Amino acid sequence: MSHAEGSYYLPEPSHWPLVGSIGLFLATGGFAYALTYGVDGALGNMTVSYIGLAIIIFMLFGWFGTVIKESMAGKYDSQVDSSFRMGMIWFILSEVMFFAAFFGALYYMRNFSVPWLGGEGNNAMTNAILHEGFQAVWPTNGPGNVGGDYEPMPATGLPLWNTIILLTSGATLTWAHHALKAGKNSQLVLGLFLTVVLGILFLSFQIYEYGHAYNDLNLKLTTGAYGTTFFMLTGFHGFHVFVGATMLVIMLFRAMKGHFTAEHHFAFEASAWYWHFVDVVWLGLFIFVYWLI
């Protein structure tokens, strides 16, 4: 309504949040329905969920579109900019904590539950009576040999290449950032383009790796503790790479349209922070999921 006369920009009422809520409700509710009412373990009807997803994507375009328009119209002062920055920083922290839960689960399994099943600590009888003969080693698919015999994923080879790819992409993105601050738009576009290409390469390698795991190693999501932590951690990371790459693609288009100036480019920075966060999570993954086995 902007009866507000102060300097801080107060937006008009907006329908986008409600659209987003409806989208989320349909996407999750539809998925829950499909999970609950599938026949013989198969997924049920996902139509509602897909409609919800489409609404969410529609909302994202609409909402961010509005924000970009407002930004380009110069409505945001440095205080608004600062609110956005805080929003992004704390959002990334919440993502860190989400990953922390899964890293925590990995830590717990490797250091507590698996050794206990093997009879360590105050669990001698656990092993002797319930899981006789089970040896606590990592990786493992547990005393039930859940998912059947498998081979673990070695750290050398693809994962190592992926580490190099992701680290390089961090460097190209930083290069793009410097170019932006120096006002060199063509270098910015090139840097962003390279980063996106590296991101896509990373994802392609990961998809290949999953195929290899499923087809050649019999390593699956259902392969006990190891399969569970391996796929959940790398899978959520991969999803975040996808999201980060999508953000960078949008930044690439905006950079080509000349949206960013050396002073005002919060959207670029937010995407860059996100990309670096995804980068750091990968390092944790590479060490704890691939390397230390």
Query: Could you say which residues in the range 201-230 bind other proteins, by CB under 8 A?
Result: 221-222, 224-228
Report the residue from 39, 40, 73, 97 that binds other proteins according to the rule CB under 8 A.
97
**Interface with other proteins, residue 287, by CB under 8 A:** no
Asked if residue 15 binds other proteins (CB under 8 A), the reply is yes
- Residue 12 binds to other proteins (criterion: CB under 8 A): yes
Per CB under 8 A, 105 contacts other proteins: yes
Closer CB to other proteins, residue 46 or residue 190?
46
- The minimum distance between CB 140 and other proteins, in angstroms, equals 5
- One-letter amino acid of 216: D
**Which of 11, 148, 154, 183 lies at the binding interface for other proteins (CB under 8 A)?**
11
Least distance (Å) between residue 112 CB and other proteins: 7
- Smallest gap from residue 86 Cβ to other proteins (A): 4
Q: Is 286 in the site for other proteins (CB under 8 A)?
A: no
Binding residues among 229-248 for other proteins as defined by CB under 8 A: 231-232
Residue 61 binding other proteins, by CB under 8 A = no
Q: For the purposes of burial, counting CB atoms within 10 Å of the CB of 39, is it exposed (0-12), middle (13-18) or buried (19 or more)?
A: exposed
According to CB under 8 A, which residues from 130 to 189 bind other proteins? 130-131, 140-144, 146-147
Judged by CB under 8 A, the stretch of 83-91, 199-207, 250-258, 276-284 that binds other proteins is: 83-91
Are 135 and 195 in contact, with CB atoms under 8 Å apart?
A: no
Selected from 61, 108, 208, 239, the binder of other proteins by CB under 8 A is 108
**Phi, psi dihedral angles at 243 (to 5 degrees):** -65, -45
Spatial contact of 251 and 271, defined as CB atoms under 8 Å apart: yes
